[in-house]
Chains A and B, each alone.
Chain A
Amino acid sequence: AFFWLVSLLLASLIWFVSVHLSDREDAKLQYGLLVFGAAVSVLLQEAFRFAYFKLLKKADEGLATISEDGRSPISLRQMAYVSGLSFGIISGVFSVINILADSIGPGIVGIHGDSPYYFITSAFLTMALVLLHTFWGVIFFDACEKRRYWCLGLVVASHLLTSGLTFLNPWYEASLVPIFIITLCTGLWAFFTAGGSFRNILKCLSCK
């Protein structure tokens, strides 16, 4: 979470500087800068995820050397899950908590002509984003571990794609549906990366 926050900080610093250096009045330019800022933020997040992976790897080695049986008490998969989850939680919380706080107060959604489904779509989008971060974390760490760099590239690309799809809001059909499809696919990919298989599911369901 801390790493995600630092990445957000740097990204917003870049955006802030760029906004101040540019023309305030030009709406199109501002929007373009926003897009730029969002893209930079995505790239920075992935960079910090990588940095976090390196840090955890070092810690893992340290734990393994001093533990009794030569293996660390936390497996890399668990660490990947936790790191993805924490990235997801902090990004989800940052995206949604102000909206939640405002939703308690008096007001009418979409009175200025925006969509009246703002709150519920925000909720769904946040949920998708949290899940996606978790899945990306698992896949990312596994890809770094096995040095499959095309997997890494695919994760970064899908993050960019998801963020880009949100730019199509409020055309919700075009943004929500693809994002959920991406979430499902990434989830399945992460599941198989983490070692799951159909047999495991069957075993789990039949409680063996």
Chain B
Amino acid sequence: MITFMNNSDSEEEPCNERTSLMSAESPPVPSYQDGLPASEAGEAQAHRKRRTGSSRSPNNIADGDMSDSSVPVRESALENEEEELTLKYGAKHVIMLFVPVTLCMIVVVATIKSVRFYTEKNGQLIYTPFSEDTPSVGQRLLNSVLNTIIMISVIVVMTVFLVLLYKYRCYKFIHGWLILSSLMLLFLFTYIYLGEVLKTYNVAMDYPTLFLVIWNFGAVGMICIHWKGPLQLQQAYLIMISALMALVFIKYLPEWSAWVILGAISIYDLMAVLCPKGPLRMLVETAQERNEPIFPALIYSSAMVWTVGMAKPDTAARGPSQQTWDAAEEGRENHRSPSHADSQMSETRSPVPTRPITSFEELEEEERGVKLGLGDFIFYSVLVGKAAATASGDWNTTLACFVAILIGLCLTLLLLAVFKKALPALPISITFGLVFYFSTDNLVRPFMDTLASHQLYI
């Protein structure tokens, strides 16, 4: 166990920073609101959408140019159109996010219910040193609060460290860190997971086959996540590593600590994104200033989003977007397959600078997708998984938490469409989830059980 703990230490660090990072902003996507006045465009850039939804352009100069040249009459028409389209595509985005979140939760719940390894208590992470095996309730509560404080402070320190690295352009260090952590996840955790699943179903497997399978899985995963690959494969890999991470949390976090940590991390998320000095907000703004996508390896994207500033049908604007493209190519991991499409499309765009703006907008809308940080996936799955594991074997609780989280996600996306600002995705869903978990477990369960034992239906 000690060796495992050591391993988990080193991987916990990147994982912690990864989870807190997940609140990272989506890469800049140019705005289609070319008709907006320059001030609004500037404001739009200052408030970037947090992890989901359409984003505005980072190309300040380009927007300024465009808005100066556009007809004022078209502004209101474009605004109305834009609002309607936002709502219409908002609904599509919601559905696009439901599927991966649901899949992740299904994987986690299925594993929890079948593989007993993840519900056995086999020690704790060193981030939660206080044990919960104490005789009195007060002591247990105190221990869980202390555990939470330690965990949250670790996450805060990691996030601030990452933001500092990003600010001082230590890209190689960040790359190496991310690659190391995803290596650990893809190989070590998958090995353990496969081992436990095979043990549960009593399937005999020899080491060479196992090695081959894990090697292929891990290598393809690394390529898909950090470089280029088919979108759906990449989405599948991101879902799998979120599920694996969530399973680790479920196993190694003691019960009360887990609930308090969930609550605390949603509060932290709220503060880190909305406060002006919050680390995540600074990360977002720095990325915006430099017109770079943020850590594509840590964000789930649901569609072929153009991760680089899309070229405007204006040769003046092609300059900055071309620069960002080059910067991305050399420095960053641009793993989306649309990156190929990007370069091709940006080339096809240049010969059509005279195309009317409306058609450009149409094309952009179709390509726009939604982004959600992987940390959100992980914590949603932790909540549902814990509900499945510890709710006295009751499926009602799990289902209630699932519905609550999805409704929270809907509300968050709605707020996003209304405020058009970067928003944290954790607080609303986690609050709903926690409320529903505790109320269903304590109030609804005895009611439904008594009704079912008399075979009464309401």
A residues touching B (Cβ–Cβ < 8 Å)? 1-2, 5, 8-9, 11-13, 15-16, 19, 31, 34, 37-38, 41-42, 45, 63, 66-68, 73, 90-91, 93-95, 97-99, 101, 118, 121-122, 125-126, 129, 162-163, 166-167, 169-170
Contact = CB atoms under 8 A, between A and B. Distances in A.
Nearest to B449: A98
A2 B408 CA distance: 10
Interface of B: 80, 83-84, 87-88, 393-396, 399-400, 403-404, 407, 436, 439-440, 442-444, 446-452, 454-458
A161 to B, nearest CB: 12
A5 B456 contact: no
29 contacts: A2-B404, A8-B458, A9-B439, A12-B444, A12-B446, A13-B443, A15-B447, A16-B442, A16-B443, A34-B456, A38-B458, A42-B458, A66-B83, A66-B84, A95-B452, A95-B457, A97-B395, A97-B396, A97-B399, A98-B395, A98-B448, A98-B452, A118-B455, A122-B455, A125-B457, A129-B457, A162-B457, A163-B458, A166-B457
A31 B450 CA distance: 10
Majority secondary structure, A binding face: helix
A156 B260 CA distance: 41
Contacts of A31: 454
B388 to A, nearest CB: 11
Contacts of B454: 31, 34, 167, 169
B394 A98 contact: yes
Contacts of B458: 8, 11, 38, 41-42, 45, 91, 163
A94 B448 contact: yes
Contacts of A166: 455-457
Given A19-B446, A94-B399, A95-B448, 18 more contacts: A2-B407, A5-B400, A9-B443, A9-B444, A12-B447, A12-B448, A15-B447, A66-B87, A67-B84, A90-B399, A90-B403, A95-B452, A97-B395, A98-B394, A125-B455, A163-B456, A166-B457, A169-B456
B396 A169 contact: no
The listed residue with most A CB atoms (<10 A of its CB), out of B394, B443, B457, is: B457
A1 B395 contact: no
Contacts of B451: 34, 38, 95
Nearest to B453: A114
Contacts of B407: 2
Given A66-B80, A98-B396, A101-B395, A11 B87 contact: no
A2 B403 contact: yes
B403 A13 contact: no
A192 to B, nearest CB: 26
Contacts of A16: 442-443, 446-447
10 A-B pairs with the lowest CB-CB distances in the bound complex, closest first: A12-B447, A169-B455, A166-B457, A97-B395, A12-B444, A66-B84, A2-B407, A12-B443, A41-B458, A16-B443
A130 B388 CA distance: 25
A66 B399 CA distance: 35
Given A5-B436, A98-B394, A68 B455 contact: no
A150 to B, nearest CB: 24
A9 B440 contact: yes
A136 B55 CA distance: 42
Nearest to B395: A97
A102 B450 CA distance: 15
Contacts of B80: 66
The listed residue with most B CB atoms (<10 A of its CB), out of A66, A91, A93, is: A66
Contacts of A63: 87
Nearest to B87: A66
B269 to A, nearest CB: 22
Nearest to A128: B457
Nearest to A175: B455
Contacts of B455: 118, 121-122, 125, 166, 169-170
Nearest to A16: B443
A76 B420 CA distance: 29
A68 B84 contact: yes
B396 to A, nearest CB: 5
A121 B456 CA distance: 11
Nearest to A38: B458
A109 to B, nearest CB: 12
Contacts of B88: 73
B392 to A, nearest CB: 11
A5 B83 CA distance: 32
Contacts of B403: 1-2, 5, 90
